[in-house]
Amino acid sequence: MEKVILVKDGKAKYVFGVDEKVEIRDDKIITDNFIIGDLNSSNTTIFRTTKELPIGFYGDKFMFDGNKFTKRADWDETLLDI
């Protein structure tokens, strides 16, 4: 299934279905359900892809280069225990 992935500094931040509204502006990103204030048109890359998400996907946990996902070496699993 095709999806839209928002990437900042190589880190996969958010994933949306292609039928979800994702509007990138100079100062923020607006989606159907929320506004992302720390991502914008100058610091975010948008990829449309059919790549499967890795098992255990969580925003920031994986790097994405437009072709493949790689788990970050510095990812701390205890961050999910909060």
42-74 confidence digits (pLDDT tens) = 999 999 999 999 999 999 999 999 999 999 999
**pLDDT classification of 78: cutoffs 50, 70, 90:** confident
E-assigned strand segments in the chain: 3-8, 11-17, 22-24, 29-31, 35-36, 45-49, 62-64, 69-71
pLDDT of the residue at 82: 64
